[in-house]
Structure 1
Amino acid sequence: MRTHRLCAATASTALLGALVLAGPGTSAASGAEAAVKITVNANAGLATMPDTGLGINDAIWDKELGTTAVSDLLKSAGVRMVRYPGGSYGDIYHWKTHTAPGGYVAPGTDFDTFMAALQWTGAQPMIIANYGTGTPEEAADWVRYANVTKKYGATYWTIGNENYGNGHYGSEWEADNHPDKSPTAYANGVVAFADAMKAVDPAIKVGAVLTMPGNWPDGIVAGGDPATWNQTVLTVAGSKIDFVDLHWYPGGSTAAESLAKPEQITDAVHLAREQIARYAPADAGRIGISLTETNVGVGPNTQPGALFLADAYSGLLESGVFTVQWWNVHNGIGTVSTVAGRTDYGDFGLLSSGTCLADGTTCEPPLNTPFAPYHGLTMMNAFARPGDRFVRAGTDDPLVTAHAVRRPDGDLAVLLVNKDPDNARTAAVAYTGYTPAAAAPTVHTYVNGGTGVTTAQTGTATSRTLPPYSLTTLVLHPASQVSGEPGAPGRPTASAVTDRTATVTWPAATAGGHPVAKYELHRQNGAIDEQLGETTGTSFTVANLTPGTRYTLNVLARDTAGKVSRPSPPLTFTTGSPATSTCTVRFTDNNDWGNGYVAGVDITNNGPDAIDGWTLTFDWPTAWQRMNGGWNATWEQNGRTVKATSLDSGGRLAARGGSVSAGFVAGYTGPNLLPPVFTLNGTVCHTA
């Protein structure tokens, strides 16, 4: 959450001052060490870059909203979606009167001015309908004005902004005039808003506000509520919405800690999709995910902001989020510090507001001077274009991350992020499913303190020196243009998923110059290519899978001449526990408080023989989950593995139904995926 969004940009200093800015952590390696191994796997297809991918927020308290200078800068950076009227202002803004009681509205920031600026920029709007102090009728009138009267064709509308911050969970920053502030009331409001708005224009897409998995108040059930915010909203309003709207401010007390947060993205988005699939009504797959606010925890207008933006945007977009939007175009000076040798103004704006501290001792650069994240966004525009397909890339160095896209014309772009503030990295890049041309690639670079992205043709596709604290994009041509290859197979689906097997089915590929001979199933094991099987048909049952494991697969077509298609869209599924076993484990998340909970573990012996002394083990799905001490067993954790050993008083489990209850206190600092499988004395149990 960002409570400063309720204030004008020039009044944000005190609230932003609560964020502690610190220098980056100690570097883990030096440039003299062995080269970083980077693997790019063009066979491992991820999401396609959407036209709405690169986004930004703009606010009615920003007097620069709608100016040609700002529109030109956003256009140059490739911005394709802009959110209006600005964060929490969305729940106090009345569009007809262009007023926001309790807030400040700058001149020249009305809706028509905003839309004119978007047309100049070449972007689409993401509009916040006022749930907090508005009505469904007011929102419907806005849709009518926008799309019937003015014919703007505004497609995306969210119902409110961070409405879980209305005081229901104890923290209150979001305006909400409704007497009932529960998730049930909000969900019913979403239904009423969606019905009224779509009655005017059935073509619009309506979004509901959810919490980002792993971020407050995810997991919390408030007094009197039947379930969490996300579960309740999806259950009640899931049939009426077209997308969910998430915000993500992962924080961090140091730059190094903040820059490590994007490693949580894959699991957070996976958990969000899991919640949508579990709680929304049938056809939940049609519900998209938007991420309409994010920013870095430390160094928001210096190099950490640029590195975080590029890394986070890439991770979210390759996971299938249809838009990612930085907070904000302008924001105002906050706590001034030095980060990686550069003055950081604590400003969450993409562009300088030209403001000064109250005592006049420090002033920002001139108005609209781009801060480092602006150049990070410009790098994203050079890296991933609408229609490009993200493909898997990975590295063996935690301070270097990699992302890649395959373009429709055959080119491949690789984005490399060096998060070490002090040392360059030599990178050795290997490719699977792609052979780059010998000619020097086009190289885009943004370095610490740079005033823009530089571009040159230099070096090779397989070796590159990455400057400290830098962004580097390589754009490669293929060694030869392949023609007549098969089309990519259609999106696969999984059925009959058990603990050990899954049946994968896909639409057939279109033949190219030769008939399709077979299909190959490839698992994304990081960036390593792992073929699981092949068939001449369009369905295959994969065997020998590991219980409780998440699998992401692509299908490739190979023709009779040996030419291989591009990968199908990805399929992700998770194997379960055995349907029957000599043991059953029931694991429960009880009394969750947002970064921890009481874990209940009930163990039952289903076998014909009694068990005298038992050991239960499981692995946490992520590295940010932990066991903090328990009861009715001796508990210990080593890495991700948790082991519970029976006490003398509870070590005997009678045959055919003997049971014991134990538990522990769990903690987490990211998306909280519950452990899927448990092993009792070496036997994989059924998970109830």
Structure 2
Amino acid sequence: MKRSIRPCHDRAIAVAAAFALAVSGAIAAVAPTAAAAPSATIANSASVSVDAALQLATIPATGVGINTAVFDAAMNDSATPGLLRDAGMGAVRYPGGSHSDHYHWKTGTAEGGAYVAPNTGFDAFMGTMRAAGTQPIITVNYGSGTPQEAADWVRYANLTKGFGIKYWEVGNEVYGNGLYSNGNGWEYDTHSSKTATTYATNLVQYIDAMKAVDPTVKIGAVLTTPGSWPDGIVGPGDTMDWNHTVMSIAGSKIDFTIVHTYPAGTSQADLLTRPQTEIPQIAGALRSLINQYAGTNAPNVGIAVTEANTTTYRDTSPNGLFAPDTFLTWMENGAFNVDWWALHNGVDCTNLTQVEGATEYNDYGIVSSGASCEPPANTPFPAYYGTAMVGKLGKPGDTLVKAASSNSLLTAHAVRRANGDVAVMLINKDPRNDATVNLSYTGFTASSATPTVYSYLKNGHSIGTAQSGSPTTQTVPAYGITVVEMHPTSAPCRVVYNKNQWPGGMVGSITVVNNSLGQVNGWALGFNFPGDTAITSSWDATVTQSGPSVNAGNVSYNASIPQGGSASWGFKATWSGSNANPSAFWVNGAACAIG
């Protein structure tokens, strides 16, 4: 079993107070960073196909988040709300990593010598959150706390203050309490028994106490990351590994599962493959555990990644590419929350390297802590800009759709927006060569107008905006990120085609939008399936099918579509060889744009 390299914010608690003055209260990150750059070995061209009808997920309001910690004296700086808003942070986790299992929220103090910076208490934190317009995700103290202390926090936050905080997790990396490492753990845990059975049993008590105060809160369970140490190991005192033990006891009570991911790339090129090679497997293993143990509630149990970063190339251009790829791949695979570690963290100024022409400070913060060797405090690092590019692609409520690239060094993500626009993110992981990208679409007809393009370039200090390229051809600079924003073809009507499919079956929905048909009193929609899709049932329309040809008409209650309005209907279908999307639609004889 592979063992993950632990980030140093979890190992440095004992030195936090001494280091605080040097780095504005942040804990040092001292892991060494490799600086060797990969050579460019493949062609600098790619074909990207976008299926705007194949939905992967809806962007959640809490999808893009970040950690902040009570050791961070700059947590509530005047600059913080703007930094969070500009990066599109919809969630902020508090009170911060391993500190969460030391910290007592009522007194603003921490056990075991853990440092707490001034002005980082819960009320001060919430003032910043309200100014930023973000949702808190609270980690209650499992290591040295009690279910009553956690319930009191819920009462104060949601009943006394009316904050309406929805998401709460019980403990940080509790499996790091020494159970699997001969007592030498990084997580503070004062329980006499440190088994997974003990955590799960206590977790149920926390859930009961917290939901007795506010039944609407959602509470998560700490799991080990599938495929990383100590996943799969049966600890002394348990009969199964951590995840199976916790889920077998508490799986029917929890609202979400929690993992942390810190891949350590052996090279820049290796690191940049990790979102695609690791995240789907981790998410699949978590979903399997949820389905096994959560019973009938399994479809409602979510996945949260409450810490994410890498242990290499943290402050330089590789991480600027890794960050958006990580956020988007996790959301495409079902995570409702991903929280970057962290807003500010700290640095070891004695161990600096150069990566792609920039200084690697070994700082887990997404912005500078202002240490002596760093840029001024709150200066964004590349991961900050990479994260902000996610917001250029899509907003909460927009739909992530399928995008595929022919080139392993060119990764693509796509979104269909609520207004019918389609946007595509292109990430060029070649550090030397620009990429010429040819784009094609199904389920969307792009206007021929020059698209709006957002770009973040290697070692850049801002995000650029321009009108450039075309909907079918774009050039992405080496180690750059481009978001291409396109509008649908202007037409008297527009059709939005969505599907969720599985081998042999599917559920589809179709929305007809009246752009300029005038008042419609009765509509007929026609289209052809390119494959062998056969509709078996439908709703909100009368449907007939002859071979590949489908005709759908209104029912009594949706016959009227005013100009600017829409009507929707849905269907179930079977297929065997091909479930390809229709390439053309017409309403009352008029050809419609798609998307």
- 1:66 alignment counterpart: 76
**Stretch deviating more after TM superposition (40-49 or 114-123):** 40-49
Specify whether residues 352 and 187 from structure 1 end up closer, same or farther in structure 2 by C-alpha distance, changes over 3 A only: same
Are residue 151 (structure 1) and residue 162 (structure 2) matched? yes
- 1:4 alignment counterpart: 9
Partners of 2:335 and 2:476 lie apart in 1 by: 28
Letter of the 1:122 counterpart:
G
Partners of 2:224 and 2:581 lie apart in 1 by: 30
Pairwise mapping of residues 400-439 of structure 1 onto structure 2 (< 5 A)? 400-439=410-449
Partners of 2:438 and 2:467 lie apart in 1 by: 18
Match for residue 160 of structure 1 among 171, 178, 182? 171
Q: How far off is 1:565 after superposition?
A: 11
Match for residue 181 of structure 1 among 188, 191, 194? 194
How well do the aligned residues superpose, as a CA RMSD in angstroms?
Answer: 2.8
SS at match of 1:20: coil
- 1:616 alignment counterpart: none
**Stretch deviating more after TM superposition (474-483 or 289-298):** 474-483
Are residue 355 (structure 1) and residue 371 (structure 2) matched? yes
Are residue 94 (structure 1) and residue 99 (structure 2) matched? no
Q: Which runs of 5+ in 1 are unaligned?
A: 357-362, 495-500, 521-529, 546-551, 568-688
Specify whether residues 506 and 416 from structure 1 end up closer, same or farther in structure 2 by C-alpha distance, changes over 3 A only: closer
Letter of the 1:345 counterpart:
Y
Partners of 1:519 and 1:201 lie apart in 2 by: 51
Specify whether residues 123 and 42 from structure 1 end up closer, same or farther in structure 2 by C-alpha distance, changes over 3 A only: same
Letter of the 1:164 counterpart:
Y
- 2:257 alignment counterpart: 244
Are residue 293 (structure 1) and residue 298 (structure 2) matched? no
Partners of 2:68 and 2:449 lie apart in 1 by: 42
Q: How far off is 1:399 after superposition?
A: 1.0
Partners of 2:464 and 2:110 lie apart in 1 by: 42
SS at match of 2:273: helix
Letter of the 1:210 counterpart:
L
Q: How far off is 1:447 after superposition?
A: 0.9
Give aligned-pair identity as a percent: 43
TM-score when scaled to structure 2? 0.84
Higher relative contact order (CA 8 A, sep 6+): 2
Partners of 1:50 and 1:123 lie apart in 2 by: 13
- 2:292 alignment counterpart: 278
Alignment deviations for residues 528-578 of structure 1 (CA, whole Å, 9 cap, x no partner) = xx9562214254455589xxxxxx9999998886989999xxxxxxxxxxx
Kept in 1, the 8 Å contact 2:443–2:496? The answer is: no
Partners of 2:462 and 2:313 lie apart in 1 by: 18
- 1:137 alignment counterpart: 148
Kept in 1, the 8 Å contact 2:451–2:486? The answer is: yes
Match for residue 478 of structure 1 among 475, 482, 488? 488
Kept in 2, the 8 Å contact 1:486–1:509? The answer is: yes
SS at match of 2:164: coil
Specify whether residues 394 and 488 from structure 1 end up closer, same or farther in structure 2 by C-alpha distance, changes over 3 A only: closer
Match for residue 331 of structure 1 among 345, 349, 369? 345
Pairwise mapping of residues 270-669 of structure 1 onto structure 2 (< 5 A)? 270-334=284-348, 335-356=351-372, 363-480=373-490, 483=493, 485=495, 488=498, 504=505, 506=507, 514=523, 531=531, 533-537=533-537, 538-542=571-575
- 2:242 alignment counterpart: 229
Match for residue 199 of structure 1 among 204, 207, 212? 212
- 1:608 alignment counterpart: none
Partners of 1:43 and 1:108 lie apart in 2 by: 48
Are residue 106 (structure 1) and residue 125 (structure 2) matched? no
- 1:268 alignment counterpart: 282
Q: How far off is 1:222 after superposition?
A: 2.3
Q: Which runs of 5+ in 2 are unaligned?
A: 1-5, 514-521, 538-570
SS at match of 2:93: strand
Q: How far off is 1:518 after superposition?
A: 8.8
Letter of the 1:376 counterpart:
G
- 1:585 alignment counterpart: none
Kept in 2, the 8 Å contact 1:157–1:206? The answer is: yes
Specify whether residues 487 and 39 from structure 1 end up closer, same or farther in structure 2 by C-alpha distance, changes over 3 A only: closer
Q: How far off is 1:505 after superposition?
A: 6.6
TM-score when scaled to structure 1? 0.73
Specify whether residues 453 and 508 from structure 1 end up closer, same or farther in structure 2 by C-alpha distance, changes over 3 A only: closer
Partners of 2:509 and 2:383 lie apart in 1 by: 43
The number of residues matched between the two structures is 534
Partners of 1:399 and 1:482 lie apart in 2 by: 40
Partners of 2:512 and 2:300 lie apart in 1 by: 28
SS at match of 1:216: coil
Specify whether residues 234 and 531 from structure 1 end up closer, same or farther in structure 2 by C-alpha distance, changes over 3 A only: farther
Letter of the 2:205 counterpart:
A
Partners of 1:223 and 1:532 lie apart in 2 by: 55
Alignment deviations for residues 192-225 of structure 1 (CA, whole Å, 9 cap, x no partner) = 0000000001111101111222222222222442
Specify whether residues 110 and 556 from structure 1 end up closer, same or farther in structure 2 by C-alpha distance, changes over 3 A only: farther
Specify whether residues 41 and 134 from structure 1 end up closer, same or farther in structure 2 by C-alpha distance, changes over 3 A only: same
- 2:59 alignment counterpart: 49
Kept in 1, the 8 Å contact 2:29–2:346? The answer is: no
- 2:47 alignment counterpart: 37
Q: How far off is 1:255 after superposition?
A: 1.6
Alignment deviations for residues 280-332 of structure 1 (CA, whole Å, 9 cap, x no partner) = 22221110111111112321111111100011111111222111111000111
Kept in 2, the 8 Å contact 1:55–1:79? The answer is: yes
Are residue 122 (structure 1) and residue 119 (structure 2) matched? no
Letter of the 2:535 counterpart:
T
Q: How far off is 1:461 after superposition?
A: 1.3
- 2:517 alignment counterpart: none
